[in-house]
A = this chain, B = another copy of it.
Amino acid sequence: MIYLTRRERFNAAHKLYREEWSLEQNEAVFGKCSNPNWHGHNYELFVTVKGEVDPQTGFVIDLKELKHIIEAHVIEKLDHRNVNLDVDFMRGKMASTEVLAIEIFKQLKPHVEANGAMLHSVKLVETENNSVEYFGDE
């Protein structure tokens, strides 16, 4: 069993707020992250898959394939987008780093498994000081 990690990046806008709360409530809980006019980040995404090494290729997964999966199912939908408004799999959800990492994991899992590997974790780095990692719910 070996672990392979691919990094991809996307630049997106978001805000933290609950629609049913007033501006004041949102600011009390989420601080400047609740700015109604949005703010944004250069997100770094680290996707780790695991499996046995193929003796023919020396690969756990074809990196070109993994790169394609992440781009098609995550980066394409998030890069230069608004996490709250533009992303189908985030509709109606809090745009926190935690929730975003969990939903990215769900997007990637079936496609990684269809390529014969397991999805080990999704790490999402929001700033150089803050990051989140999700290993699935099992």
Majority secondary structure of chain A interface residues (helix, strand, loop or mixed) = mixed
CA distance A128 to B46 in the complex (A): 11
CA distance A5 to B123 in the complex (A): 10
Instruction: Determine the interface band of chain A, counting residues with CB < 8 A from chain B.
Output: 35 or more
Residues of B within 8 A of A60 (CB): 98, 132
In the A-B complex, the 7 residue pairs with the closest CB atoms? A40-B40, A58-B94, A58-B96, A37-B82, A32-B80, A13-B38, A13-B13
How far in angstroms is the closest Cβ of chain B from A47? 11
A23 interface residue per 8 A CB criterion: no
Closest to A93 in B: B58
A71 interface residue per 8 A CB criterion: no
